[in-house]
Amino acid sequence: MNKSTQCEASEMLKRAGISPSYQRIMVLSALLETDEHPSADTIYKKLGTNIPAISRATVYNTLNLLVDRGVIHSMRTAGSETRFDSVCEAHSHFFCRKCKRIFDVAQQSGEIETELDGHLVESQDLVYKGLCRECRGEMIK
């Protein structure tokens, strides 16, 4: 893990009022260092090779805490697997039905609605589904 990423993770935790334990820093760092949208199990497997003492429960609990405090974002994929994203600014996602990867894409709509029919909107998730560039290319060949 990159030291500057660990420092960034520690600061993010402190700003959210979360005690920056070594394991929490490492979980958040693992997410910050990827542009993919990993599951908790993927993060656990990645960290487990370098931190044998980390438990699956610690990874899950840390990710849930980070979501609850607004540090990261979670989303459900087809098959109801939860994936995590460190980018909390407004953006959309593209889910490839073949390789199951998730890509960040530019927000396609204008302003995010803050109120709909008297309901207060706190977040909006837009997920496009189809074939990514690579999988589409494989089908054309």
CA distance from start to end of the chain: 38
48 and 108 within one domain: no
User: Do 67 and 129 share a domain, yes or no?
Assistant: no
Q: What is the CATH number of the domain that holds 34?
A: 1.10.10.10
Q: pLDDT tens digit string along 57-66?
A: 999 999 999 9
Who contacts 88 (Cβ-Cβ below 8 Å, separation ≥6)? 70, 71, 72, 73
End position of a domain, from candidates 28, 52, 76? 76
Residue with tokens 């995590």: 84
Give 42-84 pLDDT, tens digit per residue: 999 999 988 988 999 999 999 999 999 999 999 887 677 899 9
Q: Give DSSP secondary structure letters for 57-106.
A: HHHHHHHHHHHHTTSSEEEE-TTS-EEEES--SS-EEEEETTT--EEEE-
**DSSP secondary structure of 29-40:** HHHHT-SS--BH
Q: Which domain holds residue 132?
A: 89-140
Whole-model pTM: value is 0.80
CA-to-CA distance for 116 and 68, rounded, in angstroms? 23
Tokens of 52: 């044998």
Integer CA distances (angstroms), 17 to 63, 66, 70, in order = 15, 10, 11
What's the mean pLDDT in 8-24?
A: 96
Q: What is the CA radius of gyration of the chain?
A: 17
